[in-house]
């Protein structure tokens, strides 16, 4: 065991733990859709978003009154170049030049624009939007941004619906539809890779759930801690949520066509609070549970089973119920807010909110909120003793956790297992770091819990 090889492995592990222990947690943004005739003014919307601590917003266009309202707000925007403009954008760079000149330059950087979504779910709308235009449009927008030195600070991508996958179950078998791969998927991934951008994915566990209520449990669809783990028969990784399984199906699909390094941003996900009779599960309680559990999951740090180091970056759908959307009842009921700015249900969007910084008392729905807003950090299962021990050593050493109680004969020595000791140390580190996002990760060896951990008679403090 004490071979130089093992030592350098350990050193590598510790170095990566050092960097990842306090690495960024994921980010939560929200989609500001405006298909309603009763929505508040953009200026009021910006105030509402700021009051909720929102730092990222996605738009479906680049409306000048909206972009102006976000000026100086500190909120980063992903703006949209709509499907209707794709053909023009593909036809010439003079179109994209003037689009950039009138939709980006007058606003950025006082209005922070971090990305442009070129088209939206183009493959799913291929009857009306030629997929062949997509890549050329993306490249033309890039060329036009580059003329102003903005091509590295503003990312270009295009939201892809999960319907672009031929298979998504098990996640390791994720694959794109064969007819999309050569014409658009590969060239697009190449472009994303070259420009250091990421793939935008719209993922709705809700749709998969309503089509498969006999095989998918509600707990699994709602990211509840109580969900039974779902092993992937292809690689043995265990999934605790459909959301993570869907995300990994996209990673697997990208790997299958030779792209292993492209990051994912989930540009839409959500759960409706109301639906038609056959849209089972569309209730305010389930919507609050889905969004609340997802926010908690994202802000606790760490990634998916396939990409444990890639923190999750997610935009919830959506800010408001939008009365002018067509389709089933659910379409008009994805909002966290009614147009009058009242909450449809309460979902804290920041760690501070989750930890009780905001009023949890008014919560109408059953987000499994921790008692008195408390959270703890414990060792994860199936990490392996070696990795756990290394993380434990780090926490007690460089990490500065209080590890006196787990020394021989001390109060938390029993049970004398690596899992119990690591949990104690991780929790100490997490609490000492003010439960900061990313401080309960340890390279994927730890996770946040909302119940006081039970290891013998050991008490897990929440204050140091
Ligand atoms: C773009 O950046 C380069 C190097 O940073 C600089 O020399 C050039 O003047 C910039 N061009 C514009 C249009 O800002
Ligand atoms: C597409 O999916 C079907 C079953 O869902 C599978 O049999 C087929 O092999 C898949 N094709 C490709 C190219 O992935
Ligand atoms: C992605 O980009 C990197 C750096 O530019 C390059 O080395 C790599 O080969 C690219 N990957 C693919 C699959 O094209
Ligand atoms: C919490 O709610 C109570 C009663 O509704 C209110 O008085 C108090 O100011 C609120 N606190 C915060 C931090 O919003």
Structure tokens at 200: 């935008």
Residue among 198, 178, 185 at smallest CA distance from 247: 198
What is the C-alpha R_g of the chain?
A: 23
Domains observed in the chain: 1-23+375-464 (no CATH), 32-354 (3.20.20.80)
pLDDT, residue 381, reads 85
Catalytic residue among 121, 244, 279, 322: 121
**296 in Cβ contact with 347 (< 8 Å):** no
Nearest CA to ligand 3 atom 1: 193
pLDDT, residue 443, reads 82
Which has more pLDDT, 423 or 10?
Answer: 423
pLDDT class of 363 with cuts at 50, 70, 90: very low
pLDDT, residue 366, reads 34
Residue 291 C-alpha to ligand 4 middle, in angstroms?
A: 22
pLDDT digits (tens, 9 = 90+) for 94-109: 999 999 999 999 999 9
Q: What is the spatial distance between Cα 63 and Cα 60, in angstroms, rounded to a whole number?
A: 9
Cα three-residue angle 275-245-440, rounded to 5 degrees:
105
Q: How far from chain centre, in Å, is Cα 411?
A: 39
Ligand 4 pocket (Cβ < 6 Å) reads: 358-359, 361
pLDDT digits (tens, 9 = 90+) for 53-97: 999 999 999 999 999 999 999 999 999 999 999 999 999 999 999
Mean residue pLDDT of the chain comes to 89
Residue among 352, 323, 318, 350 at smallest CA distance from 335: 318
Catalytic residue among 244, 268, 279, 322: 268
User: Is residue 268 flagged as an active site residue?
Assistant: yes
**For ligand 4, what atom is nearest to the CA of residue 359?**
1
CA dihedral 407, 410, 412, 414 (to 10 degrees): 90
Which has more pLDDT, 216 or 5?
Answer: 216
Lowest mean pLDDT among 7-21, 26-40, 279-293, 335-349: 7-21
Residue 158 C-alpha to ligand 2 middle, in angstroms?
A: 24
């Amino acid at each position: 065991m004490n071979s130089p090889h093992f030592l350098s492995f350990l050193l590598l592990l510790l170095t990566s733990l050092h960097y990842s222990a306090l690495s960024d947690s994921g980010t939560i943004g929200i989609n500001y859709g405006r298909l309603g005739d009763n929505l508040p003014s953009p200026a009021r919307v910006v105030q509402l978003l700021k009051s909720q601590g929102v730092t990222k917003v996605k738009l479906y266009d680049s409306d000048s009154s909206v972009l102006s309202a976000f000026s100086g707000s500190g909120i980063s925007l992903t703006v949209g170049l709509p499907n209707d403009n794709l053909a023009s954008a593909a036809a010439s760079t003079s179109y994209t030049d003037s689009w950039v000149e009138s939709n980006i330059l007058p606003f950025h950087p006082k209005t922070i624009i971090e990305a442009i979504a070129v088209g939206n779910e183009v493959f799913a709308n291929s009857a009306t939007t030629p997929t062949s235009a997509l890549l050329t449009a993306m490249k033309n927008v890039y060329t036009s941004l580059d003329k102003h030195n903005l091509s590295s600070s503003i990312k270009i991508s295009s939201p892809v619906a999960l319907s672009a996958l031929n298979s998504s179950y098990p996640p390791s078998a994720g694959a794109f539809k064969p007819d999309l791969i050569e014409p658009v998927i590969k060239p697009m991934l190449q472009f994303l890779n070259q420009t250091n951008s990421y793939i935008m994915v719209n993922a709705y566990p809700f749709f998969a759930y309503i089509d498969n209520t006999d095989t998918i449990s509600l707990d699994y669809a709602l990211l509840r801690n109580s969900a039974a783990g779902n092993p992937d028969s292809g690689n043995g990784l265990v999934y605790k949520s459909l959301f993570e399984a869907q995300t990994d199906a996209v990673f697997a699909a990208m790997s299958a066509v030779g792209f292993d390094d492209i990051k994912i941003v989930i540009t839409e996900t959500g759960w409706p609070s109301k639906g038609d009779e056959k849209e089972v599960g569309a209730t305010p309680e389930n919507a609050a549970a889905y969004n609340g559990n997802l926010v908690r999951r994202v802000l606790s740090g760490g990634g998916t089973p396939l990409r444990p180091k890639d923190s999750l970056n997610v935009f919830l759908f959506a800010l408001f119920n939008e009365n002018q959307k067509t389709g089933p009842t659910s379409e008009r009921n994805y909002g966290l807010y009614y147009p009058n700015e009242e909450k449809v249900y309460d979902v804290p969007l920041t760690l501070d909110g989750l930890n009780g910084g905001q009023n949890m008392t008014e919560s109408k729905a059953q987000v499994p909120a921790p008692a008195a807003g408390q959270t703890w950090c414990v060792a994860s299962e199936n990490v392996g003793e070696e990795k756990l021990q290394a993380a434990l050593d780090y926490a007690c050493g460089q990490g500065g956790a209080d590890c006196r109680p787990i020394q021989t004969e001390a109060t938390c020595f029993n049970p004398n297992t690596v899992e119990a000791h690591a949990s104690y140390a991780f929790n100490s580190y997490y609490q000492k770091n003010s439960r900061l996002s990313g401080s309960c990760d340890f390279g994927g060896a730890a996770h946040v819990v909302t119940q006081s951990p039970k290891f013998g008679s050991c008490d897990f403090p929440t204050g140091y």
